[in-house]
Structure 1
Amino acid sequence: MDDYDIAEHPDLRDPDWQRRAVKQARAGVRRQRRTGKRLAWTGVTLVVVAGAVFGLVQWGRSTSAHYDGSAPPPAEMRPTAPSVLPDIARVNLERPFDGTPAETWGESVDGLLAPPPGPVGGFSAAQVQTAVDQVKKVIHAARLDRRTIEGRDATAYVNLLAPSARADARAAIADHTSDSALTDVSFAAEGFKLLPANPRISGTITAAPGTNAGRIALHASFVVGYAFDPDGYTPIMSPSYIDVFMRHEVDFEMIVGSNYDKNDRGLWVTYSDYLVYSMACEPAKKGYLAPAYSELTTNGSPVADEAAIYDVTKPMPEVGDSCS
């Protein structure tokens, strides 16, 4: 019997089929959650890469193949700051992350931990480093750049992706009938802006051989904190009133092989799972971030392990009841 490669099936290589698969994946896997005085929201999406079926195979796995939370965390990743947000605490608007898990996090993607540059599969150390650097640029543009967050302008992020990946990313970001935009970028809701303090970030990036020749697989586990300007709102009873947190598990593939179409070469986001915590719920449903003080609630169930939200050495935590 001849060997049969399902990746060569004409349906999987058809651009129209790929676009439909992306839309169905984005639309069919949203989950909304609510918890206590703080709100949490989780979502996940999968993107088909250049007709490959690897993403569809991976769909049944609950976590990334690059991370299972079983290995003991490196010393650099062991939390030294508070492990959870305080219920009641004094807030210094000039230092809005004091007393929170983010008080010791970095202000740029340079603080993300990555292994020392080295060859991976058939790729040189220089090629791997280039791929890691591109992932860092994408994370900065999507999650830390104020032009993206406050200006709600995703141009810098989209332009860092492979040309063939850009149209679907733009469509998802523009869809504010759901939380779709949050999968790709962090947009502040209309009428809300950040304090002068920069967002804080903590996490890791790893690299491995890709699904096929000419591909480097990368995984980023990271969490970002945003401090919103209360704009005169009082009293601010806790950092949780103004600090919003996003936990991310994201798979990328860098396509570099010369046997791929020119527009397919570059960085693709193949899987993205995220959780938003301590935020306003209604804006999140439309793909925007807003601080919890604008929508305080006392309903819902607690997060099973709040500390896991901020600690990327732990798997993504489950949260409480639906945010409806």
Structure 2
Amino acid sequence: MAGRPSDGTPSASDDEAQPSAPSISDEEWQRFVQEAGRDRSSAPKEPSARARMVTERLRRQEARGELPPGWRTGPAWQEMNGRGTRRRWWAVVGVPLAVVVAVVAVRPSLIPGDPFGTASPVPDTAAASPLPAETAAPTAAPGAADPDTPTVARPFAGSPAERWADGEAGITLPAATPVGTLTKAQVAQALRQTRRLLVDANLDPATLRGERPETAFDVIEPRQKELLDLLTTGLRKPDKKHDPLWMFSRFDPSEMRLAGDVVKTRGRMTFKEGEDASVAVHADYTFVYPLVREGSDEVARTIVRRVLDVRLSDPTRYQVTPGKIVVKHFDQEIGNSACDLYDGYLHPRFDSAEPTGAPPTGPTTDPYDRSKGIPADRRDECRVVSRT
């Protein structure tokens, strides 16, 4: 508690020669207590002459047994300066405790277990991250998504498509290689033309608003007059035998519009050597359209899956238009659109509106299930969807 004696402090031999020291007065004791109780956090100081004298007297008295046991830390010290002791206890314990309380008040999540329930939820980054590109048919339908209701701000909530690619980014092309008599460049051209057809028919904003998809018509072999006439008639005067929805995705702009500017896309494109010195390209893609009606913020989704087989032949061996593709086969599967309605537009069902068209009668299917092909015997069925 007091500093060590300086070199000038009397030695033990001097103590034996001197007479017994008189007892310490109350005034001297109080001064000692005050001197010893100074802030210990300050830098050490050389003891004063009075402090050295008092300390030496106490040391001698303790050696002769004149002081009670435990006088340095015992009850006598606490009783005589109890208020000072409490103050020193608060300086040692209370200040750090106050710092801890202040830090916890600002960041309560530092307490293990979050007893106040204030910690922010850990985001599910795996659920939010985009899926890798599809390179082969999946083995099963995608798992259940979160049960959230779609909104204009988040139109794909509650849908597996929330992790799909946006629009054209979902139509990736495989690396081209030579096929038969066709060069790598010719195969790459066939892939690009197939992609242009898919984009213009299913993603172009003008096509979705019901306008004529000029690019799609431009890439198709002009010698395919029967197909081109069918599609042209369907756009001009749609009916059951001339339905533009067989090839194009269209919505009536007077009734609804896209919720945002994103259409989700997932699928794959492959190629192989085809007949008649050609490259055969196979495309299988699903498009998810979020829509809102005029004057409403309710979001409904329509899901369209399209399977397309095209061919590009060697122009040096066959009479074809260089760079144009021949559409050999096309098929579609539509989820959440009015049945038996042939006006050339898709009509999703909104919970807040009366349904249009006939009710679906076919078996319940999952429109997100890409693990199976489109059954040929169900192409004319209007099926119930398990989710949108």
1:22-68: CA deviation from partner (whole Å, max 9, x where unpaired): xxxxxxxxxxxxxxxxxxxxxxxxxxxxxxxxxxxxxxxxxxxxxxx
Q: Is contact 2:276-2:313 (8 Å) kept?
A: no
Structure 1 299/149 Cα, relative in aligned 2: closer, same or farther at 3 Å?
A: closer
1:143-186: CA deviation from partner (whole Å, max 9, x where unpaired): 00001111422222211222223642423433401262111211
Counterpart for residue 314 of structure 1: 372
Moved over 6 A (4+): 73-77, 318-321
TM-score normalized by the length of structure 2 = 0.54
- Using the TM superposition, give the Cα deviation of residue 223 of structure 1 relative to its aligned residue in structure 2, in angstroms: 0.5
| Unpaired stretches in structure 2, ≥5 consecutive residues | 1-132, 384-388
The structure having more radius of gyration, on CA atoms, is: 2
RMSD: 3.4
Counterpart for residue 183 of structure 1: 246
CA distance, structure 1, for counterparts of residue 175 and residue 252 of structure 2: 38
Q: Does 1:289 align with 2:346?
A: yes
Counterpart for residue 263 of structure 2: 199
CA distance, structure 2, for counterparts of residue 282 and residue 85 of structure 1: 30
Q: Identity over aligned residues, as a percent? A: 24
Name which of 334, 343, 354 aligns with 1:276: 334
| Unpaired stretches in structure 1, ≥5 consecutive residues | 1-72
* 1:84-99 → structure 2 map (5 Å cutoff): 89-99=148-158
Q: Give the match's secondary structure for 1:193.
A: strand
- Using the TM superposition, give the Cα deviation of residue 276 of structure 1 relative to its aligned residue in structure 2, in angstroms: 0.8
- Using the TM superposition, give the Cα deviation of residue 281 of structure 1 relative to its aligned residue in structure 2, in angstroms: 2.8
Name which of 145, 148, 152 aligns with 2:211: 152
Q: Does 1:222 align with 2:285?
A: yes
* 1:11-30 → structure 2 map (5 Å cutoff): none
CA distance, structure 2, for counterparts of residue 206 and residue 320 of structure 1: 23
Q: Is contact 2:313-2:320 (8 Å) kept?
A: no
- Using the TM superposition, give the Cα deviation of residue 101 of structure 1 relative to its aligned residue in structure 2, in angstroms: 2.0
Structure 1 289/175 Cα, relative in aligned 2: closer, same or farther at 3 Å?
A: same
CA distance, structure 2, for counterparts of residue 323 and residue 287 of structure 1: 16
Whose RCO is larger (CA < 8 A, sep 6+)?
1
1:240-293: CA deviation from partner (whole Å, max 9, x where unpaired): x6111111111111134224335476112111110110123354x233112211
- Name the count of aligned residue pairs: 242
Q: Give the match's secondary structure for 2:268.
A: strand
Structure 1 81/260 Cα, relative in aligned 2: closer, same or farther at 3 Å?
A: closer
Q: Is contact 2:208-2:249 (8 Å) kept?
A: yes
Structure 1 190/114 Cα, relative in aligned 2: closer, same or farther at 3 Å?
A: closer
- Using the TM superposition, give the Cα deviation of residue 76 of structure 1 relative to its aligned residue in structure 2, in angstroms: 7.8
Q: Give the match's secondary structure for 2:337.
A: coil
Task: Specify the code of the residue in structure 2 equivalent to 1:134.
Answer: Q
Structure 1 126/99 Cα, relative in aligned 2: closer, same or farther at 3 Å?
A: same
